[in-house]
Amino acid sequence: MEVIIIGSGTGVPSRRRGSPAVGVKAGQHFVLLDIGSGTLRAMLQYDLNFNDIDILCLSHHHPDHVGDLAAFLFASRYRLGYTRQRPFWLLAAQGFGEFHQSLKSAWGQWVEPPAGLMQVQELARDRLDTLTWADLTIKTAPVNHIATSLAYRLEFGGRTVVYSGDTDWSDTLIELARGADLFILEASNPFKVSGHLTPLEAGRLAAQAGVSRLVLTHIYPPGDEVDMLAACRGTFTGEIILAEDGLRVQV
């Protein structure tokens, strides 16, 4: 698998970091984890094509994680640019239907893809859930942020990538990430903010999960003013990478 950090930031504008989005290439599958504002344009900078999104996974419905969803659904109707013929999947927690309906209340048919193009799967908000596409398995677990928050585990070719989305300390996340080859985990600020992790907490959570490598992401501007890696090394002894937009990691 190849992981591409498309946006390593938050909803706070930053010259350095875009809103959250992570691409994962797993054989013939291209999975997009979150679609924050500016994702579609940023994908072009990293030679990624929105026609190739096979599975779009939403961690939750906060604007910084779904800001480009309406733009993507709108663009799917523009047949001169969006030429995909086979359906794509959209995965989200139970309640996505109501969220999508609210978008349609504002924009009507313009955020409704052509018939048959989008397959929506709502996932459990209170337990582990699993979906499989031939050689790719995606597992989800609820995490401690808001009611629709899910973390995702991608298993392909004997390798595993886990993406936390936004989260505070979550035992369910530790279990989901158990033994992962790469753990993409939020570490929002050097100080504690409810609903999020500090780098020290992120390291402790990753250590308990027994992961091989850790990528810290979802960095607010205060995080760029300190050594986030040093703080994390106090609780995690494995390899730690500070996410940057455009970072590519082979798994």
DSSP of 188-241: --SS--TTS--HHHHHHHHHHHT-SEEEEE---GGGGGS-HHHHHHTT--SEEE
* Contact (Cβ atoms closer than 8 angstroms) between residue 67 and residue 104: no
Low-confidence ranges of the chain (pLDDT < 50): none
Q: What is the pLDDT of residues 97-145, one digit of tens each?
A: 999 999 999 999 999 999 999 999 999 999 999 999 999 999 999 999 9
User: CATH no. for residue 124?
Assistant: 3.60.15.10
pTM of the model: 0.97
Q: What is the pLDDT of residue 154?
A: 98
* Contact (Cβ atoms closer than 8 angstroms) between residue 150 and residue 160: no
> What is the number of structural domains in the chain?
1
Q: What is the pLDDT of residue 67?
A: 97
As a whole number of angstroms, the distance between CA 163 and CA 65 comes to 13
Q: What is the pLDDT of residue 231?
A: 92
As a whole number of angstroms, the distance between CA 48 and CA 193 comes to 33
Q: What is the pLDDT of residue 176?
A: 98
Q: What is the pLDDT of residue 7?
A: 98
* Contact (Cβ atoms closer than 8 angstroms) between residue 152 and residue 131: no
Tokens standing for residue 212: 């091989």
Q: What is the pLDDT of residue 245?
A: 98
Q: What is the pLDDT of residue 79?
A: 85
Structural domain boundaries enclosing 243: 2-250
